[in-house]
Structure 1
Amino acid sequence: MTTAPQESRPPAPDPARLFDVTGRVALVTGSTRGIGHALASGLVRAGATVVVNGRDPQVAEQVAAGLAALGPGRTVARAFDVTDPAAVEQAVAGLEADGYPVEILVNNTGMQQRAPFTEFSDADWARMLDVNLSSAFYVARSVARRMRDRGHGKIVNVLSVQSEVVRPGIAPYSATKGGLKMLTKGMCADLAGSGIQVNALGPGYFATELTAALVADAEFSRWVEGRTPAGRWGQVEDLVGALLFFASDASAFVNGQVLHVDGGMLSVL
């Protein structure tokens, strides 16, 4: 009697190392302040080599030096305009040439501008599209071409709860974040077969220097705290664990997904 040969399977990964990003090169766009700075900080503390990005070279260098002191990861500064496709390609090629092949990309760059829909100008609409949506396309396209050749990579796009719901005065912002959500899924469809995982974080209402005026507005803060089951504003550190999941081998079979880090806001009416 003969028995069928057993299927050969690779050994199960060590659970203790699933979230390990030690030594991996991560580019975090818009990482000189706000959520991007917190995400870069988390990656450095987890042992990654983080490329700090902003438009001002001096600021990028200063932030990179400050983050490097957190260790054990390393940092390098690269100032370039993520809304300029030629500048993006030059910067990504330069990182490769300098020995920093991007293994983790965090598309964080974004802006917010509030105005009634009928009063939103053409110039402001175009700028918001460039900053919130086109920049992610340009950077991911350049990075993904090289990830594809290596057969692996992680791309994490930063969305918002406004990818799903909206308040008065932010229709263009929600449109760009909703577009980035679908770009995430489309990138998954095109890139998953090349060993690249493309996912997204959806922050709720977070206290940062960019939202300081809203946090200081007692009425608005009461609305946020009452609307959020957790009963508070998010703190930027709340995003780090979710990022490490998407940036590490822990999410090896997770693709095209959005993880909302919102204190439960989207779960309730």
Structure 2
Amino acid sequence: MDIFTLHRGSAPLLVSLPHDGTHVPDAIARRLTASARGVPDTDWHVALLYDFARDLGASILVPTHSRYVVDLNRSEDDTSLYPGQNTTGLCPVRQFDGSAVYLEGQEPVPEEVRQRVDAYWRPYHAALRGEIDRLKQEHGRVVLWEAHSIRGELPWLFPGRLPDLNLGTASGTSCSPELAERLALVLATQDGYDWVANGRFKGGHITRHYGQPEQGVEAVQLEIAQRAYMDEATFDWLPGEAAALQPVLRALLEATLL
């Protein structure tokens, strides 16, 4: 099985969806709890939500395997992105609700984690870096858009209700002030969704690591509360809600190309 698909576009925009995959190899799946086998912490339907990005000329990188195999948006040394807060790891052993991913005694040992990094994490990041370099060489600049989604209420991870749209720019360091202002303007001039910039989600490893605006690589993460386009209880895609959200997402991506 391929571990990712890469659509190569013509515009200086790369959409990365590191948590869209759902596949878990049988040897791992047999060790998961019953609830974890359903991979509930997937960024459900995000590739479908952003399918319009092809029309904008964007490149799109999508993994096939679940974040339960390895989290592609964590650093390979598993440094915490949010010190002092509950979070999941490089090879998660806790679900977003705090429950176990693995049956007791079946968690991956360090050697297995290293093997998963070699088998899945490194190839994805090599493809990511290669496409960034290609687009930068062709255009002189590139915007890396990290597309994510998550349930809007997860007490183990954050208190209360997450805003609908959560923009992360590593507290303003992963993209230029001009791009951040254009994105904020798009969000401020729509009235269908509440939003925040650099709130609970400021950007994961990919945004923080690859975003180097002084070198022509700008990175932005958008974390969408899943209620905006799907049923969070059943994981079902809601066509009407998704169709209402997509024009806002399109406006955001168009703002990266100005």
For normalisation by structure 1, the TM-score amounts to 0.37
Larger Rg: 1
**Which has more helix, going by share of residues?**
1
For normalisation by structure 2, the TM-score amounts to 0.38
